Structure 1
Amino acid sequence: MDKPLIVGVDGSDPSLRALDWAVDRAEAYGVPLRVVHSSRWEWYEGHTPSFDINRSSVQVLSEHIVASAVERAQSRAGAMKVTGEVLPEDPSFALVRVGAEAGAVVVGSRGRGELADLLLGSVSLSVAARATVPVLVVRGEAKNVASGFRTVVLGVDDARDSALAVEFAFQEALTAHASLTVLHAWRCPAREVPDVPMADHEEHRDRAEEQVELAVREAMAAHPEVTVRREAIEGHARTVLLDAARGADLLVVGARRRKGHVGMQLGPVNHAVLHHAVCPVAVVPHG
């Protein structure tokens, strides 16, 4: 990563947790950190605005949130360059827009509005679904967030679509001095049907193992210093990845964008890991 890292903050505990995590990531990569706050964040997360609201007081609060976040980041990082800004626009739109100029966008798992009890905040979900750069959602248990396992997990599906996620995962493992576990989940429908030859099962398994090999072959040759473990595991992808996340510092998944009448969407596996993983999740767009 050679571009600035952007982190979205709203003053909530999850966003400050994401801020600290982003500081450590930016420092490890040797890139500047850009702290962004939208003055409309509370409206987006479920806060009901009053008609008597003083817009100048909103601006003052927003500037305070950013200034406090920048001060916190600088005290944690030392000499690393940290900047902050308030954007008067929809928070998800703002982060997607400015994120296009960044190496990645970091967000917390939830906001501080009336919907803060959701598993994943609406801003985080929207940014992960629409950003054109990797989005890192900081969530999970303390040990996972603190990089206590020294393990990055990468989920791959179709090897032809996995190149960007693979490269991102290798760079994360390299920068964090972590090992990399590459997983491909597969299922054999024939096992659910009586009197089907076991040859079908073996064929599915062999094909799955080939997908893993094809997905990481070039990256392994380019990054021989990264310790890589490859596994093709029979089961539902969401279950396989969520189980692996328990012992990971970061879970990396690709996102195949689907353009429709409601915009770009995430698939069911992406939704599952974003809502339930016990470690930070990186969503890397492709397609």
Structure 2
Amino acid sequence: MGLPLVVGVDGSEPSLRAVDWAADEAALRAVALKVVYASLWERYEGSALASDVGKPSEEVRADDIVGAAARRALRRRPGLKVSADVLPEEPEYALVREGRNASALVLGTRGRSGLVEMLLGSVSLTVAAHADCPVIVLRGSHDNRVGAESRGRVVLGVGETGKDSAATGFAFQEARLRAAPLDAVRAWRCPAHESVDHPLLAGEPARLHEEHAAEALEEALKDAPTDVELHRRTVEGPARRVLLDASRDAGLLVVGARRNPGHLGLQLGRVAHGVLHHAACPVAIVPEQA
């Protein structure tokens, strides 16, 4: 059995949907599922609030949350190996650390009122930007089922990382697990001074840029496995818009994010940041070493 799949919970509806999704994903991967709740309850509750049970009230609540989430996962997948842990620290740091010994991290979106599917919480964003393993953020209205019969195709955003891209390998693995087709998409654009809308420049410059995109796509997929149904597409337009359009009828969108050792800021890139906030399906951010 490989490394466990880790799902972060906080008692919210999005995190409970993430538990369902993670249980299905762990079953597909034949790995254990670890349910994690992280909160600095000690800082705010303190030992003075300890009751007869010997725990601050927030710790009792945390135990209830992870216990309920673990039972939910087992009801969904009775044969799954499930563990649960409560970590008294900032969720961002705890989850990034858990990701060092995980096959992937699964997180829900957080938002308010009717914006819940449009806003991405700071925890999910920070973890996606710093984790050492793939981070899957549950977006869209169909994010509680991972089965191939209801999940649709896997979409891979192909960037400049070439055929050894970790994101490409991850996308093939996910498509294979689901027995779903993989749609590999490469966006391309003409520079502003070579606009395809200009009547005198719409021919040769556009063709050259599209050919370059097709060549880059072929290079990235050079070692594609033969047991996955693969579709290649080059699309003119900003990569963010192209991938958001592709996410509308997809089961999973996979994009890479370069990691630069020593860099303290968010390590996502504009495209990954954009799809995390606005995609219509779950998004997998896969770290790529610079």
TM-score by length of 2: 0.87
Residues 59-208 of structure 1: pairs in structure 2 closer than 5 A: 59-110=59-110, 119-142=119-142, 148-160=150-162, 163-189=165-191, 190-191=194-195, 195-196=200-201, 198-208=203-213
Higher mean displacement: 250-259 or 268-277: 250-259
What is the identity percentage for the equivalent residue pairs of Structure 1 and Structure 2? 48
Letter aligned with residue 67 of structure 1: G
Which residue matches 2:285?
A: 283
Higher mean displacement: 229-238 or 145-154: 145-154
Structure 1: gaps spanning 5 or more residues:
44-48
Which residue matches 1:269?
A: 271
Which residue matches 1:225?
A: 227
For 2:49 and 2:163, the matched residues in 1 are separated by 49
The 1:66–1:112 alpha-carbon spacing in structure 2 relative to 1, beyond 3 Å, is farther
Structure 2: gaps spanning 5 or more residues:
51-55
Alpha-carbon displacement from aligned partner over 1:160-204 (angstroms, at most 9, x marks no partner): 376100000000000011000000001011126854473222111
Letter aligned with residue 205 of structure 1: E
CA contact (8 A) 2:106 2:138 kept: yes
- Pairwise CA RMSD: 2.7
CA contact (8 A) 1:99 1:105 kept: yes
The 1:143–1:280 alpha-carbon spacing in structure 2 relative to 1, beyond 3 Å, is closer
CA contact (8 A) 1:100 1:132 kept: yes
The 1:53–1:39 alpha-carbon spacing in structure 2 relative to 1, beyond 3 Å, is farther
Alpha-carbon displacement from aligned partner over 1:100-156 (angstroms, at most 9, x marks no partner): 10100000011689x978700110000000001000001102278555242000001
The 1:242–1:162 alpha-carbon spacing in structure 2 relative to 1, beyond 3 Å, is farther
Count the aligned residue pairs. 277
Letter aligned with residue 212 of structure 2: R
For 2:111 and 2:40, the matched residues in 1 are separated by 12
